[in-house]
Amino acid sequence: MNAALKQKSVRGLETAWLEAGPVDGDILLLLHGFPDTAASWSYQTKAFKDRFHVIAPFIRGAGPSEAARAIQRYGTDGVALDILAILGEVDPRGERRIYLVGHDLGAVHAWHLARLLGQRVAAMVIINGLSLRQMLVRWRHPRQLLKSWYIFLMQLPLVPELAVRAAPRAMLSLAHGLGGLPQASRPDAVPLRGALAGPLNQYRAFIREIPRLTRRRSPRLTCPVLLLWGADDAFLVPPHAAELAHDATDVTIRIIEGNHWLQREQHEAVNGLIEAFFSLKSAKGDPA
In the bound state with another protein, the residue whose beta carbon lies nearer, of 85 and 280, is: 280
The interface region with another protein, picked from 56-64, 119-127, 162-170, 247-255 by CB under 8 A, is 247-255
Q: Would you give the end-to-end CA distance of the chain in angstroms?
A: 23
In the bound state with another protein, the residue whose beta carbon lies nearer, of 4 and 242, is: 242
DSSP annotation string for 101-120? EEETHHHHHHHHHHHHHGGG
For another protein, the binding residues in 98-157 under the rule CB under 8 A are: 143
Q: In what order do the strands lie in the sheet with 4-10?
A: 4-10, 13-20, 53-57, 27-31, 98-103, 121-127, 225-230, 251-256
Task: Give the nearest distance from C-beta 231 to another protein in angstroms.
Answer: 6
Binding status of residue 283 toward another protein by CB under 8 A: no
Binding status of residue 252 toward another protein by CB under 8 A: yes
Contacts of 97 (CB under 8 A, 6+ apart): 26, 27, 120, 121, 122, 286, 288
Asked if 46 and 73 count as a contact pair (C-beta separation under 8 A), the reply is no
| C-alpha Rg value of the chain to the nearest Å | 17
The interface region with another protein, picked from 79-87, 193-201, 236-244, 279-287 by CB under 8 A, is 236-244
In the bound state with another protein, the residue whose beta carbon lies nearer, of 88 and 272, is: 272
What whole-number distance in Å separates Cα of residue 129 and Cα of residue 198?
A: 20
Q: Compute how many other C-beta atoms are within 10 angstroms of the C-beta atom of residue 217.
A: 6
Binding status of residue 257 toward another protein by CB under 8 A: yes
Q: Single out the residue of 162, 189, 210, 231 in contact with another protein (rule: CB under 8 A).
A: 231
Binding status of residue 4 toward another protein by CB under 8 A: no
Q: Single out the residue of 81, 151, 237, 288 in contact with another protein (rule: CB under 8 A).
A: 237
In the bound state with another protein, the residue whose beta carbon lies nearer, of 184 and 242, is: 242
Binding status of residue 218 toward another protein by CB under 8 A: no
Binding stretches for another protein (CB under 8 A) = 143, 231, 237-242, 252-257
